[in-house]
């Protein structure tokens, strides 16, 4: 066994750490080890075993947690690529790749040491000489610990470690006292942390309940077991308000038995809606599937951009492709956006793929996630469907990765490591000689550009299924509406008339307003100030039903002001409209209509989301109002009208992606109309009716929009023509944020970075967020190597200047510059 091990630890430092490998240990590359780090013990991943003696003294590995790698060679390589590309610490990358935290049970234990035994012995001989400078209470506590530990080691030569929790509850001493005893070697401490196998559950089985002589606690336990069929997970019984020793007593008396069983798992608990296989494909779908299958069979890397208009049946192509992969005995991963993975979708997938599918979504507990991970790792599940991090699923013989709605921003992780799952999917497919399919009705500029440059094959589904037409879009100019009606309108006369018409025909309507809450701004007419969040430079939003002012960035809440908090004036006005107010307005206009709202305030989980959509689908609702959540790819046939209110507000933001996002949102929401037999219509209310994003969306002219937007990006040196990174310097203290960003600004100025443009430092558009003051730099370069080289040098300089690594955020390929 090599003498040293390089370990990647989940700490914000761009390095790996070398540890000594103890004689009896045999760590493996890609496996987990427990190591001492500063005052803590951390789990890390072994990245290399070697015999190169480091110049500094090394500590030893405490324990080896895996006998075989949890990250295979390919995933280790993928992790290194992410660390390098996104300038993220390797240990933090590995932590995001492995959902195995639940498996690891941290524990320390103690045993009595030689000095402790001597102390105990001396005290026994001289009777009352338990004397020192310590208080009598401290002494008494220490001797309670010694007595307890000595009592455990009754047989000579026996080594008994007592877990800290047990020792403390038996003796009532604090951690401080134990620490003091360790220092003077009266007792010794050992790490007894262990990996619990998540694929197995420890259960308690009832053997005999007939014994009459039970105390109250014992009876509670026996009755609980009997009531649930005589078998329960041990955690369930430990959660009862019964002393923990009860379980042991019952086992000793032979009334119960502790057993280990494979853990139950459920792919899905909902009933499938309908079988989606076999599919009835049109010729474009057939051609797309054929293309996909040929690429998979070639067993070499290929990228495909599947551009299909809304309602063109992309999902059916994905599922048929994955089914073919499974039938060939290989593996596939389907990535879906955050909100898309509802219980009904899971049930459908279960129907198609049986128990060979693993579904990873955000509602899973850590333990369930670990169970699915093991099912995938063992090869029991070869089809994986999940959100962002499912791209790291440990499948073997990967043949296909599909990224559905590849333009969706939930694929970008907005905390370290700030990776984009679509781009990671492409890299993983390259490493595995697999095929990656990025699918969307509104591809990102990056993917469209790659297809134009022939890096990806472009496959199009130009028509809706069954030749249904795309909806007609009518633009309503809200400036004109204001001139004609003499007041600011939320719902134009045109939209109102069209809604009424649909209700008369018993058809359904969706109305989009991409802003939640009741009123987005509270303004004082006397001093002109707004009510801002305490932690962020952001106006608080009024939420009427909750009777609160809420910050949408950090969650801070305040009571609804009766008077101005700045000057005390009573003339406070609630301005603007959010989805909550829109729902109220629509109720007022159409009192007979059944109206529901879909946004982050009404949807707490996937179940809420699905319940509302099912109600719409089953005809129990006439109108659904909501934020962009209503625009996400669901398929409801009764909706013939979509109203869009202020969807273009993003066009006013200082962000180069504003036009792209607006085009995508307008196209996606328009795509909800007319998916059934009756044709659809879209009313698009706007203050920017001449803006090209609005015009091209209204004409369903994808190519037109992309060509125009690409020209603009090229001209402004923005992605996809330049690699871009946003560097944010943050601190709770304004002075510090200014000082650090000034220091880095001077460094950028004094060190010419050929081929890299640096803008800033400038105040971030949101200057203060979650208590941090924020300044930023935007770096652009046509060369990714040069960009990353500059960023790496900047981080080294920042570290040299003692700017904490956590206060410098490097966001490579940033989606937001706010
Ligand atoms: Zn005021
Ligand atoms: Zn806030």
Q: What's the CA gap between 564 and 572, in Å, rounded?
A: 6
Q: Which ligand is nearest to the CA of 551?
A: 2
Sign of the torsion formed by the C-alpha atoms of 237, 241, 245 and 246: negative
**Across 344-355, average pLDDT:** 85
Strand bridging mode 357-360 / 435-440: unpaired
Angle between helices 421-432 and 73-85 (to 10 degrees): 140
- Position 505 scores a pLDDT of 94
**Across 138-165, average pLDDT:** 80
Q: Which ligand is nearest to the CA of 541?
A: 2
Give me ligand 2 centre to Cα 600, in Å: 16
Give me ligand 2 centre to Cα 19, in Å: 42
Give me ligand 2 centre to Cα 566, in Å: 18
- Higher pLDDT: 245 or 637? It is 637
Q: Are 314 and 466 in contact (CB under 8 A)?
A: no
| Cis ω for the linkage preceding 807 (within 30 of 0) | no
Instruction: Give the pLDDT band of residue 87 (cuts 50, 70, 90).
Output: very high
Q: Which ligand is nearest to the CA of 558?
A: 2
Q: Which ligand is nearest to the CA of 573?
A: 1
**Across 255-282, average pLDDT:** 67
- Position 273 scores a pLDDT of 57
- Position 246 scores a pLDDT of 78
Q: What's the CA gap between 631 and 648, in Å, rounded?
A: 14
Give me ligand 1 centre to Cα 486, in Å: 28
- Position 4 scores a pLDDT of 96
Q: Which ligand is nearest to the CA of 552?
A: 2
Q: CA 180, 182, 186 angle in degrees (round to 5)?
A: 100
- Higher pLDDT: 28 or 219? It is 28
**Across 459-487, average pLDDT:** 90
Q: In 639-665, which positions are buried (b, 16+ CB within 10 angstroms) versus exposed (e)?
A: bbbbbbbbbbbbbeeebbbbbbbbbbb
- Position 649 scores a pLDDT of 77
10 Å CB burial of residue 495 (0-12, 13-18, 19+) is buried
Give me ligand 2 centre to Cα 515, in Å: 16
Q: What percent of the chain stands above pLDDT 90?
A: 63
Residue in 182, 172, 193 with CA at minimum distance from that of residue 113: 182
Q: What is the pLDDT of residues 502-513, one digit of tens each?
A: 999 999 999 999
- Position 667 scores a pLDDT of 92
Give me ligand 2 centre to Cα 769, in Å: 6
Strand bridging mode 231-233 / 200-206: antiparallel
Identify residues whose C-beta is under 5 A from ligand 2, the ion: 533, 535-536, 551, 553-554, 556
> H helices within 620-752, ranges in order?
658-670, 692-698, 702-715, 734-750
Q: Where are the beta strands (DSSP E) in 405-482?
A: 435-440, 457-461, 472-477
Sign of the torsion formed by the C-alpha atoms of 600, 606, 612 and 617: positive
Q: Which ligand is nearest to the CA of 772?
A: 2
Q: Are 503 and 622 in contact (CB under 8 A)?
A: yes
Give me ligand 2 centre to Cα 551, in Å: 5
**Across 109-138, average pLDDT:** 76
- Higher pLDDT: 634 or 494? It is 494
Instruction: Give the pLDDT band of residue 35 (cuts 50, 70, 90).
Output: very high
Give me ligand 1 centre to Cα 569, in Å: 5
Instruction: Give the pLDDT band of residue 430 (cuts 50, 70, 90).
Output: very high
Give me ligand 1 centre to Cα 2, in Å: 71
Q: Are 791 and 725 in contact (CB under 8 A)?
A: yes
Give me ligand 1 centre to Cα 537, in Å: 17
Give me ligand 1 centre to Cα 574, in Å: 13
Give me ligand 2 centre to Cα 663, in Å: 28
Instruction: Give the pLDDT band of residue 104 (cuts 50, 70, 90).
Output: low
Q: Which ligand is nearest to the CA of 537?
A: 2
Q: What's the CA gap between 669 and 466, in Å, rounded?
A: 20
Instruction: Give the pLDDT band of residue 736 (cuts 50, 70, 90).
Output: very high
Q: Which ligand is nearest to the CA of 539?
A: 2
Q: How many residues does the chain have?
A: 818
- Position 483 scores a pLDDT of 92
Angle between helices 784-800 and 734-750 (to 10 degrees): 130
Reply yes or no on whether the pLDDT at 119 is more than 70.
Answer: yes
Reply yes or no on whether the pLDDT at 194 is more than 70.
Answer: no
- Higher pLDDT: 647 or 703? It is 703
Instruction: Give the pLDDT band of residue 310 (cuts 50, 70, 90).
Output: confident
Reply yes or no on whether the pLDDT at 268 is more than 70.
Answer: no
Q: Which ligand is nearest to the CA of 535?
A: 2
What is the CB-side half-sphere exposure of residue 443 using CA atoms within 13 A? 29
Instruction: Give the pLDDT band of residue 217 (cuts 50, 70, 90).
Output: confident
Q: What's the CA gap between 692 and 702, in Å, rounded?
A: 11
Q: What's the CA gap between 314 and 402, in Å, rounded?
A: 11
Q: Which ligand is nearest to the CA of 553?
A: 2
Give me ligand 1 centre to Cα 535, in Å: 20
Reply yes or no on whether the pLDDT at 465 is more than 60.
Answer: yes
Decide: helix, strand or coil at residue 536: coil
Read off φ and ψ for residue 791, nearest 5 degrees: -65, -40
Give me ligand 1 centre to Cα 771, in Å: 23
Give me ligand 2 centre to Cα 553, in Å: 5
- Position 624 scores a pLDDT of 96
- Position 6 scores a pLDDT of 97
Give me ligand 1 centre to Cα 540, in Å: 15
Q: Which ligand is nearest to the CA of 771?
A: 2
Give me ligand 1 centre to Cα 553, in Å: 24
Q: What's the CA gap between 739 and 198, in Å, rounded?
A: 48
Q: Which ligand is nearest to the CA of 766?
A: 2
What is the CB-side half-sphere exposure of residue 784 using CA atoms within 13 A? 10
Give me ligand 2 centre to Cα 291, in Å: 49
Decide: helix, strand or coil at residue 730: strand
Q: What's the CA gap between 540 and 553, in Å, rounded?
A: 9
Q: What percent of the chain stands above pLDDT 70?
A: 94
Sign of the torsion formed by the C-alpha atoms of 46, 49, 52 and 56: positive
Q: Are 470 and 673 in contact (CB under 8 A)?
A: no
Confidence (pTM): 0.84
Cβ neighbours around 602 below 10 Å, total: 20
Give me ligand 1 centre to Cα 529, in Å: 6
Instruction: Give the pLDDT band of residue 786 (cuts 50, 70, 90).
Output: very high
Identify residues whose C-beta is under 5 A from ligand 1, the ion: 524, 526-527, 564, 566-567, 569
Residue 664 in tokens: 């995508």
- Position 747 scores a pLDDT of 97
Q: What's the CA gap between 376 and 95, in Å, rounded?
A: 18
Residue 435 in tokens: 């095929």
Q: What is the pLDDT of residues 539-564, one digit of tens each?
A: 999 999 999 999 999 999 999 999 99
Q: CA 708, 710, 714 angle in degrees (round to 5)?
A: 120
Give me ligand 1 centre to Cα 543, in Å: 20
Lowest mean pLDDT among 68-82, 105-119, 767-781: 105-119
- Position 154 scores a pLDDT of 64
Residue in 1, 5, 11 with CA at minimum distance from that of residue 806: 11
Angle between helices 245-252 and 216-227 (to 10 degrees): 80
Q: What is the pLDDT of residues 619-660, one digit of tens each?
A: 999 999 999 888 876 778 889 999 999 767 778 777 899 999
Residue 527 in tokens: 């001093």
Count of helix runs (H) and strand runs (E) in the chain: 24, 35
Q: What is the pLDDT of residues 355-413, one digit of tens each?
A: 899 998 877 888 888 889 999 999 999 999 999 999 999 999 999 999 999 999 999 99
Q: Which ligand is nearest to the CA of 525?
A: 1
Q: What rounded mean pLDDT belongs to the chain?
A: 89
């Amino acid at each position: 066994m090599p003498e040293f091990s390089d370990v990647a630890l989940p700490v914000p430092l761009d390095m790996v750490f070398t540890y000594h490998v103890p004689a009896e240990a045999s760590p493996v590359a890609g496996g987990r080890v427990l190591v001492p780090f500063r005052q803590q013990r951390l789990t890390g991943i072994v990245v290399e075993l070697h015999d190169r003696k480091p110049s500094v003294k090394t500590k030893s590995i405490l324990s080896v947690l895996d006998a075989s790698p949890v990250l295979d060679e390919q995933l280790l390589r993928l992790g290194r690529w992410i660390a390098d590309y996104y300038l993220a610490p390797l240990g933090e990358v590995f932590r995001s790749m492995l959902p195995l935290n639940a498996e690891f049970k941290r524990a320390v234990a103690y045993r009595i040491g030689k000095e402790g035994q001597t102390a105990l012995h001396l005290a026994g001989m001289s009777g009352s000489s338990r004397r020192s400078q310590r208080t009598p209470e401290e002494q008494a506590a220490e001797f309670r610990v010694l007595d307890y530990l000595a009592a455990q080691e009754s047989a000579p030569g026996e080594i008994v470690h007592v877990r800290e929790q047990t020792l403390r509850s038996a003796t009532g001493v604090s951690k401080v006292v134990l620490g003091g005893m360790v220092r003077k070697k009266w007792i010794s401490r050992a790490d007894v942390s262990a990996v619990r196998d998540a694929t197995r559950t420890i259960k308690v089985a009832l053997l005999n309940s007939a014994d009459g002589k039970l105390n109250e606690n014992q009876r509670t336990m026996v009755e609980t077991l009997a009531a649930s069929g005589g078998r329960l997970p041990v955690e369930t019984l430990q959660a009862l308000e019964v002393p923990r020793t009860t379980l042991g007593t019952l086992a000793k008396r032979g009334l119960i038995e502790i057993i280990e069983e494979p853990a139950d798992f459920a792919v899905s608990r909902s009933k499938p809606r309908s079988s989606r296989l076999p599919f009835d494909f049109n010729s474009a779908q057939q051609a797309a599937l054929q293309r996909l299958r040929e690429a998979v069979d070639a067993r070499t890397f290929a990228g495909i951009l599947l551009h299909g208009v809304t309602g063109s049946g992309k999902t059916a192509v994905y599922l048929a492709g994955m089914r073919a992969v499974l039938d060939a005995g290989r593996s596939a991963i389907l990535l879906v956006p955050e909100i898309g993975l509802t219980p009904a979708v899971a049930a459908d997938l279960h129907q198609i793929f049986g128990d060979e599918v693993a579904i990873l979504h955000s509602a899973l507990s850590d333990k369930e996630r670990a169970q699915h991970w093991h099912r995938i790792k063992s090869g029991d599940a070869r089809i994986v469907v999940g959100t962002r991090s499912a791209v790291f699923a440990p499948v073997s013989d990967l043949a296909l990765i599909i990224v559905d709605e590849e333009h969706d921003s939930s694929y970008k992780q907005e905390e370290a490591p700030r990776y984009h799952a679509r781009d990671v999917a492409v890299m993983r497919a390259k490493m595995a000689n697999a095929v990656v399919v990025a699918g969307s009705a509104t591809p990102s500029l990056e993917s469209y550009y790659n297809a134009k440059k022939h890096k990806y094959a472009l496959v199009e589904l130009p028509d809706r299924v069954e030749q249904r037409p795309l909806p007609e879009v009518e633009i309503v100019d809200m400036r004109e509406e204001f001139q004609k009606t003499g007041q600011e309108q939320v719902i134009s006369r045109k939209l109102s008339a069209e809604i009424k018409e649909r209700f008369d025909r018993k058809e359904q309507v969706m109305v989009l307003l991409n802003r939640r809450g009741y009123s987005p701004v509270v303004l004082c007419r006397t001093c002109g100030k707004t009510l801002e969040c305490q932690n962020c430079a952001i106006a608080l939003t009024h939420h009427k039903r909750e009777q609160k002012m809420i910050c949408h960035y950090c969650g801070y809440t305040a009571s609804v002001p009766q008077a101005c908090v700045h000057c005390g004036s009573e003339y406070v006005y609630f301005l603007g409209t959010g989805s909550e107010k829109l729902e109220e307005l629509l109720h007022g206009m159409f009192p007979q209509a059944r109206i529901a709202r879909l946004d982050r305030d009404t949807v707490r989980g996937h179940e809420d989301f699905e319940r509302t959509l099912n109600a719409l689908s089953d005809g129990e609702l006439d109108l659904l109002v909501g934020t962009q959540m209503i625009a996400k790819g669901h398929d409801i046939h009764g909706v013939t009208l979509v109203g869009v209110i202020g969807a273009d507000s993003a066009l006013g933001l200082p962000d180069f992606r504003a036009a792209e996002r607006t085009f995508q949102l307008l196209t996606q929401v328009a795509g909800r109309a007319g998916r059934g037999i009756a044709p659809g219509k879209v009313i698009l209310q706007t203050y920017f009716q001449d803006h090209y994003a609005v015009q091209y969306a209204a004409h369903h002219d994808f190519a037109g929009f992309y060509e125009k937007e690409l020209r603009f990006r090229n001209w402004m040196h923005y992605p996809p023509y330049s690699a871009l990174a946003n560097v944010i310097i943050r601190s709770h203290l304004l002075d510090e944020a200014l000082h650090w960003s000034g220091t880095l600004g001077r460094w950028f100025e004094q060190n010419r970075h050929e081929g890299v443009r640096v803008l800033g430092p400038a105040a971030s558009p949101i200057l203060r967020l979650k208590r941090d003051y924020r300044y930023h730099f935007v770096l652009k370069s046509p060369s990714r190597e040069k960009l990353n080289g500059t960023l790496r040098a900047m981080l080294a300089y920042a570290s040299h200047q003692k700017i904490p690594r956590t206060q410098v955020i490097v966001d490579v390929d940033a989606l937001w510059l706010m």
